[in-house]
Amino acid sequence: MSPIRRSPPSGSLDDDDDVFGYQVTAGIAIKINDRWDFRTDFRMLQAEDASLVSSTATASTPSDVEYSTFDMTAGVRIKF
């Protein structure tokens, strides 16, 4: 049985674009006792749209790519 051979796509991708990004964080800690805290944090990371261009022999196709994340964590913190 011979392996499947695939030819590379006939085009290229310009995947280089510098965009502005920012991050916002907030959190709170609630004291349980002298050594233990309960904590929760929220983080938002956002970047502006990056423009990528896929080109073939006949035409160029621009694409805008978005990136954002929203994270929330919770846990306990032990003080030594």
User: How confident is the model at residue 10, as a pLDDT?
Assistant: 54
Structure tokens at 18: 């510098």
Q: Does this model's pTM top 0.75?
A: no
**What CA–CA distances, in Å, run from 29 to 35, 38, 51, 71, 76?**
12, 6, 40, 17, 9
- The domain segmentation of the chain, as residue ranges, is 31-50+62-80
Beta bridge partners of 14: 53
Structure tokens at 69: 């994340």
Radius of gyration of the chain (CA): 23
- The DSSP element (H or E) to which 47 belongs, if any, is strand 36-56
Tens digit of each residue's pLDDT (9 = 90 or more) over 4-42 = 655 555 556 566 778 899 999 999 999 999 999 999 999
The whole-angstrom separation of Cα 77 and Cα 73 is 12
What's the average model confidence in pLDDT over 59-78? Answer: 88
pLDDT of residue 73 exceeding 70? yes
User: How confident is the model at residue 28, as a pLDDT?
Assistant: 97
